[in-house]
Structure 1
């Protein structure tokens, strides 16, 4: 199997053309919804997380492939973010806007701000647009001044940056004050921001987050990351998120690579190896990844992003350890994705999820505020970068 060649072809022949076709030249940004039957709703709300992820995707696709049409797509996404997603009055980025760019859900969530930083940092690297970096640093300063307390990162705020219930990132019947998911994507965002600007404030924050993962989020007894926390970072659930753990295993390593601190890298690798090995033992099922385990009950749904992140996470572990089993499972996951997850219908991309038998029974949308080219596109680019 020529894995790098195959994922490059998937990126160039399916994922990129699919998202290019969703460009909205009338109202800006990209259309926010395509149902399972491939009908595009051009008047559906436009999620600002979706737009950030599209901006990140096209910026990195341009840097990977050197195709100038991809930078044009990134320019288009950036303009929509500046014109419509940014709150010019109170600062920060909205949760969503209407199809024609008017504020809709004005929640200010730290998760959302983090994805904007991630995207803007990559766009700056692709375009050398200083305004994008300035925007990213403004969001960084907003998070660090308003979005933290003595225990960690706060999460959900209203438009005026007043704290509110964190219902957007809570699930399984819980209302969590703090989540591993938000912290992980703040780490991801700060990693990219520090990579492009080497600002000491960002470095300090990044080191602090790595410390929080090691000492508060990682459970050394179970070799997994805790998911939901109260305001003081005490865990409040028995949830094992296989996809987030394998994703975190390589994003934490990536942060260490960018920091270039030998001590932190050694400490982090010790438990990210354990994280990946535990997922390898617990989550794999007939060449695919199960979704999660809640209170001892395994959800066998095959979710698109979980398969994609597992490919990167296991290949990353292969690079560190040299253990062939991690390379082998990466190739098996790709074989599963090719056979089942990729939607072969013309004009489509990847299914959201499948049942254990490989059938898309949920018929969830092909595009909506959470379904984007970030996980599968990033997987392709990471594999290309690591193997080529």
Structure 2
């Protein structure tokens, strides 16, 4: 497999370069600052679109992480642009949180503190600190971590609550998006809090933070991983009463490798051993979501037995890392074959070879999904991370 892996690495390096060039060439907002809030599937820019905190935090992370590999000063400059924009416009100078969204002219729009967004800003700031040694970036990351611990952490039942008002009061609508259940504790937010915390720990070896990560990984294992079937549980109330929902194949396989990586970063051998087992079990059950063309379906509803017959781009990226990780752990050739097959699917159906970047996804008939190329949720994060992770691992 050596030659095939070498070829995959070459292709991923080129694709990473293409992804980053797309964002540098098409999304810089020279009029209002930062980055344009939306580009549609036909590459039409919407200069008046709202700007999302998650998009900007993920841009910050992607260009910072890529710089480690590329040593391209344009990548570092783009990361700096994202850092300055988040610091100057998304960071709440009064209450110390992160605005969920801004108007196109950089004025605050939705000022709620969605903990998911704070987790991503921590993730991005820590990565930016690692390439810039900006004490401002590290300070912002630490302050946001302390805000989450002060307001979102549930000291009685453990875990983290979803969202708050700008001044950290309780809020009625906790949802990340319209498709999510309005519940107080979610798998998605816990996954990305621990991701942000672990990235912060890489650059700030604080023992309290380490113990917090240990507890968080233990909480995730206790409540969110269904060890009976290997899938993730997605939604709970504050007392850990589950609100059954769909199986999300992309989140399953993302968690499989990412949670293990977090355990490895803090060096907890007990958790590493547990999450190695989870990584294999989750990879095994996620096979049920892989189509014969190598693509990963989006979601399955066990109650109605209905498959959401779409193949979104981000689960493909996570599949590549998750199954490469499973192959590294087990040396089971089937897992590596899944990676190669999926990459062929991505090249054929997901990458926009004409205009650059990845489409949102394809429908069951391979028609392009008519959703953002860049936007509130469509970011250079999953796809660039898949490239970066596999380049490092190969």
* TM-score, normalised via structure 1 length: 0.96
Question: Unaligned 5+ residue runs, structure 1?
Answer: none
Identify the residue that residue 349 of structure 1 maps to in structure 2: 357
Identify the residue that residue 201 of structure 2 maps to in structure 1: 194
SS of 1:222's equivalent in the other structure is: coil
Counterpart-to-counterpart distance in 2, 1:299 and 1:67? 40
Identify the residue that residue 375 of structure 1 maps to in structure 2: 382
Counterpart-to-counterpart distance in 2, 1:222 and 1:126? 40
1:114–1:185: 8 Å Cα contact kept in structure 2?
A: yes
2:162–2:174: 8 Å Cα contact kept in structure 1?
A: no
Asked if residue 317 in structure 1 is aligned to residue 326 in structure 2, the reply is: yes
Asked if residue 259 in structure 1 is aligned to residue 274 in structure 2, the reply is: no
Q: For each residue in 1:14-36, what CA deviation from the matched residue of structure 2 results, as whole angstroms up to 9, or x when unmatched?
A: 20111002112332211110112
Choose from 294, 300, 323 the match for 2:309: 300
Identify the residue that residue 52 of structure 2 maps to in structure 1: 47
Counterpart-to-counterpart distance in 2, 1:330 and 1:180? 25
Counterpart-to-counterpart distance in 1, 2:345 and 2:275? 30
Counterpart-to-counterpart distance in 2, 1:248 and 1:274? 11
Choose from 97, 100, 107 the match for 1:92: 97
Choose from 227, 236, 245 the match for 1:238: 245
SS of 2:109's equivalent in the other structure is: strand
SS of 1:219's equivalent in the other structure is: coil
Counterpart-to-counterpart distance in 1, 2:86 and 2:245? 37
Identify the residue that residue 16 of structure 1 maps to in structure 2: 20
Counterpart-to-counterpart distance in 2, 1:98 and 1:110? 20
CA RMSD of aligned residues (A): 1.3
1:229–1:235: 8 Å Cα contact kept in structure 2?
A: yes
Asked if residue 250 in structure 1 is aligned to residue 257 in structure 2, the reply is: yes
Choose from 289, 292, 309 the match for 1:283: 289
For these two proteins, the number of residue pairs brought into alignment is 383
Identify the residue that residue 35 of structure 2 maps to in structure 1: 30
State the 4+ residue runs in structure 1 displaced beyond 6 angstroms.
none
Identify the residue that residue 331 of structure 1 maps to in structure 2: 340
SS of 2:38's equivalent in the other structure is: coil
Question: Unaligned 5+ residue runs, structure 2?
Answer: none
Seen in structure 2, the aligned counterparts of structure 1 residues 173 and 254 have a Cα distance that, compared at 3 Å, is closer
Seen in structure 2, the aligned counterparts of structure 1 residues 238 and 81 have a Cα distance that, compared at 3 Å, is closer
SS of 2:62's equivalent in the other structure is: helix
Choose from 122, 125, 130 the match for 2:127: 122
Q: For each residue in 1:78-130, what CA deviation from the matched residue of structure 2 results, as whole angstroms up to 9, or x when unmatched?
A: 00011101000111111011222111111111000000000000000010101
* TM-score, normalised via structure 2 length: 0.95
Identify the residue that residue 208 of structure 1 maps to in structure 2: 215
Identify the residue that residue 170 of structure 2 maps to in structure 1: 163
Counterpart-to-counterpart distance in 1, 2:207 and 2:240? 26
